[in-house]
A and B are shown apart, each in its own frame.
Chain A
């Protein structure tokens, strides 16, 4: 039999999965604490030993050994554009689509103070956009000068702005000693998105520089490569699952919700056009594969931020527990993120926190309908994606995968009749990533998409 070993170097756990490519089955999975800070190989070897132990395979030969990574803080990016609703938003979407964590965005002319802020955040990559092709040149040129003038900024810069200014901008940045990649404008025309070239440029930089910078080079001696950030792998798996491959049909439009310790990610694979007649679209066009990341919604590192966003009464209502219990649990979750909740009340609060995270993250991800009263009667305007009719809603992330009744959490993603303007899915089938394999299948999709697709269809479990 031919085997593939798929590895996810996470911020907390290193997860490994062995796949039998002939039988199209998961032979086994295992995980161990990540040891990126010291020696990445320690945690990886431990997970491997565990995998061999649980599968009974001794020193198996793997045809493919590939990895994704969100270790050492993930791919941390800063996006810079001109107008907040336009090129800033386009740049942000391109970075998110490339699997990055967008730690901050900047609009208009960068000030010295803002450059200082970027220096402090020390991003892995800076994305510099601004101006449509043939449009505004002054701001992106100014911003290039500001970045070039900072000796402290070592991060490579991807330039994806006005093509008329791109060469000058590149020269300014190169003159400032920066590693520069010039790619096509993220917004070549007003309200036209072109994010794939930027995603590719970011991916290339990830392979060339970031893997080494994150201390993952050592792992590459033993495997074929760290191919992409983990969110990219999940997005890739989701897209394959939605679209299908060659003769093998996909599931059609779907949403993936990934609740983690630090963030809640939502991926939607759907065009999201209006499903009702007489609705007109507003705002930036939406990519078919759209990812949003909520940094204030998480189970552990961001538990406190979630409490601030959602408010205590909401958690009291969802969990049925008292304020003191919840406050204690959240304080503990933030300071001891590795602790798994075992006892009753603690599980109850985790469930409530996850429900709220899913509820808010999906609400922010989906489109909204606005009613505008005109002299000709009511007009309906949609911004964002209409996801009311998607076929499948898929849950992943530790709290969902290992939950005895994940439907309770997933219900947070569903359409709420009391808030009909929020275009959440109405009657999707709910699937759970029980084996926690979505990222692994995104990696496998690189070399063997058909097998990856079939395994996902086999292993994602429907719950009712």
Chain B
């Protein structure tokens, strides 16, 4: 049997929004992923260390409380230091405070090294197929 692809999921920083995290974990499991859920109040180190031990293929970061920009900065660099620099990284949620153009927000996070950046209201129907493609689990459009 093919091994389940593993992903690390968590809510970064001092953020305690637990409900969405549980829903994401459930949906990803239903979609056939092995979810290593490090939960709320997760530090960058926990994402990285969790991914190393579990051999995860992707790090999925949520941030709902507006401080994501501060919390996420340096995550890619830490992953590079830790030897998993090429791991796939997604981020989603209320990523900034105040009204800012989405294009700008997306580019800020892309520059931090995130492969995909999702605005509030994104449905998992969009994210999960994208994740499968990015991980090379299916052909584009499959």
> Which residues of A338-389 are within 8 A (CB) of B?
372-376, 379, 381
In the complex, the answer to whether A134 meets B6 with C-beta atoms within 8 Å is yes
Given A86-B53, A134-B34, A190-B53, verify A375-B67 contact (CB < 8 Å). yes
Contacts of B66 in A (CB 8 A): 375
Contacts of A85 in B (CB 8 A): 45, 49
Q: How far is the CA of A190 from the CA of B6 in the complex (A)?
A: 12
A189 within 8 A of B: yes
> Which residues of B44-74 are within 8 A (CB) of A?
45, 49-50, 52-56, 65-67
Please classify the interface of chain A as helix (H, G, I), strand (E, B), loop, or mixed, using the class held by over half of its residues. Answer: loop
Q: How far is the CA of A82 from the CA of B84 in the complex (A)?
A: 13
In the complex, the answer to whether A135 meets B41 with C-beta atoms within 8 Å is no
Q: How far is the CA of A92 from the CA of B52 in the complex (A)?
A: 19
Contacts of A82 in B (CB 8 A): 52-53
Contacts of A376 in B (CB 8 A): 16, 65
Q: Which chain B residue has the least Cβ–Cβ distance from A86? A: B53
Given A189-B36, A374-B65, verify A135-B53 contact (CB < 8 Å). yes
Given A85-B49, A190-B36, A375-B65, verify A134-B3 contact (CB < 8 Å). yes
What's the least CB distance linking A192 to chain B, in Å?
Answer: 10
Contacts of B4 in A (CB 8 A): 134
Given A86-B49, A189-B36, A190-B36, verify A372-B54 contact (CB < 8 Å). no
Q: How far is the CA of A82 from the CA of B65 in the complex (A)?
A: 33
In the complex, the answer to whether B49 meets A83 with C-beta atoms within 8 Å is yes
In the complex, the answer to whether B55 meets A136 with C-beta atoms within 8 Å is yes
Q: List 7 A-B contacts (CB under 8 A).
A: A83-B52, A87-B53, A134-B55, A187-B53, A190-B36, A379-B41, A381-B41
In the complex, the answer to whether B65 meets A131 with C-beta atoms within 8 Å is no
Q: Which chain B residue has the least Cβ–Cβ distance from A187? A: B53
In the complex, the answer to whether A83 meets B53 with C-beta atoms within 8 Å is yes
Given A85-B45, A136-B55, verify A373-B14 contact (CB < 8 Å). yes
Q: Which chain A residue has the least Cβ–Cβ distance from B50? A: A190
A280 within 8 A of B: yes
In the complex, the answer to whether B14 meets A374 with C-beta atoms within 8 Å is yes
Contacts of B14 in A (CB 8 A): 372-375, 379
B87 within 8 A of A: no
In the complex, the answer to whether B49 meets A135 with C-beta atoms within 8 Å is no
What's the least CB distance linking A273 to chain B, in Å?
Answer: 16
Q: How far is the CA of A373 from the CA of B50 in the complex (A)?
A: 25
Given A83-B52, A135-B54, A136-B55, verify A372-B41 contact (CB < 8 Å). yes
Q: How far is the CA of A340 from the CA of B49 in the complex (A)?
A: 48
B38 within 8 A of A: yes
Most buried by A among B49, B53, B54: B53
B22-40 vs A, CB cutoff 8 Å, 1 = contact: the mask equals: 0000000000001010101
A135-146 vs B, CB cutoff 8 Å, 1 = contact: the mask equals: 111000000000
In the complex, the answer to whether A282 meets B41 with C-beta atoms within 8 Å is yes
What's the least CB distance linking B88 to chain A, in Å?
Answer: 16
What's the least CB distance linking B98 to chain A, in Å?
Answer: 14
Q: Which chain B residue has the least Cβ–Cβ distance from A108? A: B83
Q: Which chain B residue has the least Cβ–Cβ distance from A375? A: B65
Q: How far is the CA of A87 from the CA of B52 in the complex (A)?
A: 11
Contacts of A381 in B (CB 8 A): 41
A232 within 8 A of B: no
Contacts of B56 in A (CB 8 A): 135
Q: How far is the CA of A280 from the CA of B15 in the complex (A)?
A: 13
Top 9 A-B pairs, shortest CB-CB distance: A135-B54, A374-B14, A135-B55, A83-B49, A136-B55, A132-B54, A190-B36, A86-B53, A190-B50
Given A190-B36, A372-B14, verify A136-B65 contact (CB < 8 Å). no
Q: Which chain B residue has the least Cβ–Cβ distance from A280? A: B41
Q: Which chain B residue has the least Cβ–Cβ distance from A85? A: B49
